[in-house]
């Protein structure tokens, strides 16, 4: 309960930052007199607000885990692997709290303060350090609870395994745990790292490859991705640069990202998505799409694509789009005689629009990792998103023409009054989208200001529609808290691992190797796209991007491609992977919603035409980069 209250204060702080940003913009517009030093308040206030979400995130066990192997392992082994992951996460929290405290102490000793308001920075960083220490305590409780689950659950019997197998597995995992503990103690000591560093410095690329594989292996063993990235990065940097610099990077980079006012866009857009969903704006946009397309054959499937695009503009999440629209659209389509394949296929494909239609959390994450402009990336995604929607609509039109039994006959003619009523109800969605994207394109807003207006607008819609009564307010706050904590911990792990990869010189060597090959740049891009489709089929876009961006982006820049263009291509291709057999994540979500009477093969067959549409879209964007780059060039 305490973590929930702290998180509530953190989210309320983010809303206050949004309100202050709006006030600053209005004063600048109306009186040419902005709030002096407001950006400095955002910096320090944002750090505390984000820090307040970590304990609730730990309590909710929300850190991203790659669970590809979980379904293929026995229950007993899975429980022990979860204990390993929880322990690794505890180590990361302890290191972060320790290094954040050291950083705060350093700021205090130097008397570091902001320029305009002369605010001392150390009290705010000390507050974050204390909040991280509280997170350590929460995570310790999680570790103990996970240990209890691992010890008690097998004793009650397992319907799948015999007791002998359980005992053997426990003994083996205890042995592995002890070996890992011993290895950690040896590798973590300063003298041990110093002893290995001489050899490591002679083969930095080998160290990079080894720890890259170790990071992947630990992720597959249910270690949260942020912990796998950060701990591998710290260990590698310690071997090559020394333990103190490696640990210092973890603390200073985390503090830098927490106090970066440009990153306020991330939690503010998350707030916008959560409140927009709670206020019922998603239903409004779906009804509008249904009014526009309902008079056509396959109209409900066409409306589903339109609804997914609109909902994606509010939430920026593929999984949320597929799950939310699927719960509304699938029952209606099944009831009206649509084939299960078409119904599930169009929702699964439409869900991928959640990360492509701006504002998108995946695009924001890419911008953070590559230090590219969030606003330019958002605008660059507009035409590709429109192409994706158009290709999906064409796919449905061809689908129902070639397979007439897949959709019922046209139910009614277009009614202007119905469209006008739907537009009137959906004015809130249209206003938010025009305000955010139009403001960015026209230079009226920065990305932060657009996010602030979007977040506050969505909050006011939810408030005045009476959607924040009862437990709804906490549900929304909890959703924002969990996602914010997860993404920021991913960022901390990613920048630490990126630092390690950078000092190994591996990206430069890969670029040099690329220069010696006779493969043309388009051939390299084609190979990368195949790899990303495979990765996207088994993983969420976030881990794919976090893991690969530090290595791939130097290759892209070496071939003289624009990183804005590549960011849109990367988002498109990993989203295609999410509907690609045999592991497409969106497909499995839709299978769960559709129910047991719809075979998995039916869902895969239904989504196949949409995969073809995605491949056409990728070919167009790769062969004609102007489709991505033209609109940003006109900003």
pLDDT of residue 127: 92
pLDDT confidence band for 155 (50 / 70 / 90): very low
Q: What are phi and psi of 113, to 5 degrees?
A: -145, 160
Tokens of 316: 């920026």
> Which burial class, exposed, middle or buried, applies to 606 when counting CB atoms under 10 A from its CB (0-12, 13-18, 19+)?
buried
pLDDT at 156: 47
State the pTM of this model. 0.75
Q: Name the H helices within 279-298.
A: 281-293
Looking at the chain, the whole-number percentage of residues with pLDDT higher than 90 is 8
pLDDT in tens, 353-385: 877 888 777 888 888 888 888 888 988 998 999
Chain centre distance of CA 288: 28
Q: Dihedral (C-alpha) 306, 308, 312, 313: value to the nearest 10 degrees? A: 20
pLDDT the model gives residue 364: 84
The 10s digit of each residue's pLDDT in 537-590 is 766 677 778 778 878 888 888 888 999 999 999 888 888 887 777 666 666 666
Over residues 188-199, the mean pLDDT reads 55
Return the number of other C-beta atoms located less than 10 Å from residue 103's C-beta: 24
**Residues 153, 75: contact at Cβ < 8 Å?**
yes
The phi, psi pair for 130, rounded to 5°, reads: -65, -40
CB 450 within 8 A of CB 262: no
| Cβ atoms within 10 Å, residue 379 | 22
Token pair belonging to 159: 């319907």
pLDDT of residue 174: 55
- pLDDT for 626: 93
**Per residue in 271-280, pLDDT tens?**
887 787 777 7
Q: How many CA atoms lie within 13 A of 230 on its CB side?
A: 28
Is 60 exceeded by the pLDDT of residue 195? no
Identify the pLDDT of residue 420: 79
Q: Which residue has the higher pLDDT, 93 or 447?
A: 93
CA dist., res. 587 & res. 603, Å (int): 7
Of 104-113, 133-142, 599-608, give the lowest mean pLDDT range. Answer: 599-608
How many angstroms separate the CA atoms of 466 and 479, rounded? 19
The DSSP element (H or E) to which 385 belongs, if any, is helix 382-402
Q: Alpha-carbon distance 59 to 481, whole Å?
A: 11
Residues forming a β-bridge with 134: none
pLDDT single digits (tens) 329-339: 777 777 777 78
More confident residue, 112 or 182: 112
pLDDT at 184 over 70: no
Buried b (16+ CB within 10 A) or exposed e, 494-514: bbbbbbbbebbebbeebeeee
Give the pLDDT of residue 489: 87
What is d(CA 511, CA 592) in angstroms, rounded to the nearest whole number? 43
Q: 301 and 338 in contact (C-beta within 8 Å)?
A: yes
pLDDT at 177: 57
HSE-up (13 A, CA, CB side) for residue 429: 28
Number of CB atoms found within 10 A of residue 589's CB: 21
Long-range pairs, 20-23, Cβ under 8 A, ≥24: 21/264, 21/448, 21/449, 21/452, 22/449, 22/452, 22/453, 22/456
Contact between 266 and 46 under an 8 Å Cβ cutoff? The reply is: no
Cα–Cα dist 566/554, whole Å: 11
Q: Judge whether 304 and 395 are in contact, CB under 8 Å.
A: no
Phi first, then psi: what are they for 358, rounded to 5°?
Answer: -70, 150
Is the pLDDT score of 619 beyond 90? yes
**Residues 243-265: what's their mean pLDDT?**
81
Q: Do 611 and 587 form a contact (C-beta atoms < 8 A)?
A: no
N residues, the chain:
635
Q: What is the pLDDT of residue 568?
A: 93
> Per DSSP, what are the bridge partners of residue 51?
none
Distances, alpha carbon 407 to alpha carbons 299, 300, 341, 609, in Å: 9, 9, 11, 15
Q: What is the DSSP track for 203-220? A: -HHHHHHHHHHHHHHHHH
Q: How far apart are CA 354 and CA 230, in angstroms?
A: 28
- 3 phi and psi, to 5 degrees? -65, -35
Distance, in Å, from the CA atom of 232 to the CA atom of 492, rounded to the nearest integer, reads 12
Residues 28 and 84: beta-carbon distance below 8 Å: no
Give the integer Cα–Cα distance in Å for 94 and 366. Answer: 27
Q: What is the pLDDT of residue 391?
A: 93
Confidence of residue 162 (pLDDT cuts 50, 70, 90): low
Tens-digit pLDDT profile for residues 201-223 = 666 777 778 888 888 788 878 88
Indicate if the alpha-carbon torsion angle 569, 572, 574, 577 is positive or negative: negative
pLDDT at 438: 78
Gap between the Cα atoms of 415 and 410, Å rounded: 13
| Cβ partners under 8 Å of residue 53, min gap 6 | 7, 10, 11, 480, 481, 482, 484, 485, 488
Residue 297 tokens read as 């054959």
**158 pLDDT tier (thresholds 50, 70, 90):** very low
pLDDT score for 383: 92
pLDDT value for 628: 92
Mean pLDDT, the chain, rounded, equals 78
Query: What percent of the chain has pLDDT above 70?
Result: 80
| Residues 508-531 pLDDT 10s | 677 677 667 677 888 888 888 888
| pLDDT band, residue 182 (cuts 50/70/90) | very low
Which residue in the block uniquely carries the two structure tokens 């004793």? Answer: 155
Q: CA 224, CA 67: separation in Å to the nearest integer?
A: 10
Q: Is 122 a residue whose pLDDT tops 80?
A: yes
Average pLDDT over residues 161-189: 52
Q: Where are the alpha helices (DSSP H) in 111-242?
A: 122-155, 163-188, 190-202, 204-220, 225-241
């Amino acid at each position: 309960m305490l973590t929930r209250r702290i998180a509530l204060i953190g989210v309320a702080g983010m809303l206050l930052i949004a309100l202050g940003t709006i006030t600053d913009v209005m004063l600048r517009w109306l009186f040419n007199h902005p709030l002096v030093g407001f950006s400095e308040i955002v910096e320090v206030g944002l750090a505390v607000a984000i820090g307040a979400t970590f304990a609730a995130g730990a309590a909710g066990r929300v850190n991203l885990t790659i669970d590809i192997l979980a379904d293929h392992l026995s229950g007993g082994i899975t429980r022990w692997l979860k204990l390993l992951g929880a322990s690794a996460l505890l180590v990361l929290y302890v290191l972060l709290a320790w290094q954040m405290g050291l950083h705060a102490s350093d700021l205090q000793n130097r008397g570091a303060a902001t320029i305009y308001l002369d605010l001392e920075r150390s009290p705010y960083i000390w507050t974050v350090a204390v909040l991280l220490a509280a997170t350590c305590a929460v995570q310790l409780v999680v570790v103990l609870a996970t240990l209890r689950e691992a010890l008690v659950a097998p004793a009650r019997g397992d319907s799948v395994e015999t007791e002998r197998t359980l005992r053997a597995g426990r003994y083996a995992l205890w042995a592995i745990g002890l070996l890992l503990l011993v290895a950690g103690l040896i590798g973590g000591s300063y003298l041990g790292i110093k002893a290995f560093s001489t050899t490591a410095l002679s083969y930095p690329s080998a160290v990079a490859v080894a720890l890259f594989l170790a990071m992947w292996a630990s992720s597959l063993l249910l270690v949260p991705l942020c912990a796998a990235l950060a701990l591998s990065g710290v260990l590698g940097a310690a071997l090559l640069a020394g333990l103190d610099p490696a640990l210092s990077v973890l603390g200073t980079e985390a503090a830098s990202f927490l106090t970066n006012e440009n990153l306020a866009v991330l939690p503010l857009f998350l707030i916008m998505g959560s409140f927009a969903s709670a206020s019922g704006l998603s239903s409004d946009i779906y009804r509008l799409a249904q009014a526009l397309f309902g008079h056509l054959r396959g109209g409900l499937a066409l409306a589903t694509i339109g609804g997914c695009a609109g909902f994606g503009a509010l939430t920026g999440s593929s999984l949320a789009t597929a799950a939310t629209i699927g719960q509304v659209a699938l029952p209606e389509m099944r009831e009206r005689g649509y084939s299960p394949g078409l119904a599930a296929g169009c929702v699964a494909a439409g869900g991928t629009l959640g990360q492509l239609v701006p504002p998108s959390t995946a695009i924001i994450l890419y911008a953070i990792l590559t230090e590219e402009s969030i606003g330019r990336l958002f605008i660059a995604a507009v035409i590709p998103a429109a192409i994706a929607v158009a290709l999906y609509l064409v796919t449905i039109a061809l689908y129902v023409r070639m397979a007439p039994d897949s959709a019922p006959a046209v139910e009614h003619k277009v009614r202007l009054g119905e469209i006008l009523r739907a537009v009137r109800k959906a004015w809130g969605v249209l206003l938010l989208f025009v305000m955010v994207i139009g403001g960015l394109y026209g230079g009226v807003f920065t990305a932060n200001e657009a996010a602030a207006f979007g977040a506050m607008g969505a909050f006011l819609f939810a408030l005045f529609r009476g959607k924040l009564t009862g437990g709804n307010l906490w549900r929304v706050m909890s959703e924002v808290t969990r996602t914010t904590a997860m993404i920021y911990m991913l960022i901390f792990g990613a920048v630490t691992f990126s630092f390690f990869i950078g000092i190994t010189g591996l990206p430069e060597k890969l670029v040099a190797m690329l220069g010696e090959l006779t493969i043309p740049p388009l051939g390299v891009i084609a190979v990368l796209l195949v790899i990303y489709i495979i990765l996207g089929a088994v993983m969420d876009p976030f881990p794919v991007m976090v893991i690969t961006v530090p290595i791939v982006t130097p290759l892209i820049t070496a071939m003289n491609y624009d990183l804005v263009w590549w960011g849109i291509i990367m988002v498109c291709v990993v989203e295609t992977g999410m509907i690609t057999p045999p592991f497409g994540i969106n497909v499995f979500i839709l299978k769960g919603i559709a129910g047991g009477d719809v075979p998995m093969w039916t869902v895969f067959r239904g989504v196949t035409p949409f995969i073809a549409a995605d491949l056409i879209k990728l070919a167009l964007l790769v062969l004609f980069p102007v489709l991505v780059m033209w609109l940003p060039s006109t900003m």
